Amino acid sequence: MQNTQPERAEHRSNPLASIIGSISGLIASEHFPNGDRAALKRMNPKKEPPLSFYRFAFRHLPQNWQGQRKAWQAILTGMALMSPHIHNLKQPLGKVLAEEHFSEARLERLLAAEGETRRTLTLRAVRFLAAKKRPVNWVDVAGLLLTSDAERREKLHLCIAGDYYKNFKEKE
């Protein structure tokens, strides 16, 4: 199996890592309005977002966020669901899913999914981790939702699957 670490390092140097760090810190902050956090948690990516989403997006998301509104909506919903245990660069998504015994079948469906199904399955995985209070590298999660280039998505899938299988232990 080839080493997936170079892609992960490149992924971390991406400006997305800075954006994710910033917005996860804002949402987890004790100064972030509880009403806004609750509204973000309740968002449904299949419906129009509340005004609190737009307020947050225009203030804190990258300038081109509107082109991927549904993906950003899912990202902010997921981060709000996991708050205050949201983001940790040292906890790759695949590793955390393996350590928490997220099923191989669920991971396979997530990585194979597209569009609305991918957003739904990602939020299910996030709820799973939120229930366990496990922060995760949200650069990985955001990459699942924002990456449209097939080659880059495949590299991300390889990283996630590699981290999963390197850390997966059968339940006893």
Which pLDDT belongs to residue 121? 97
Which pLDDT belongs to residue 53? 96
Domain around 61: 5-167
* CATH code of residue 98: 1.10.520.40
Overall domain count for the chain: 1
- Asked if the model's pLDDT at residue 5 lies above 60, the reply is no
| Residue 136 bridge partners (DSSP) | 87
pLDDT tens-place string over residues 154-163: 999 999 999 9
In a domain, residue 117? The reply is: yes
pLDDT tens-place string over residues 23-48: 999 999 999 999 999 999 999 877 89
In a domain, residue 39? The reply is: yes
Q: Per-residue confidence at 171, pLDDT binned at 50, 70, 90?
A: low
Strand segments (E) across 68-171: none
- Asked if the model's pLDDT at residue 82 lies above 70, the reply is yes
Cα–Cα distance between 101 and 29 in angstroms, integer? 29
What's the whole-model pTM score? 0.89
- Asked if the model's pLDDT at residue 132 lies above 50, the reply is yes
Torsion (CA) 70, 71, 75, 78 in degrees, nearest 10: 60
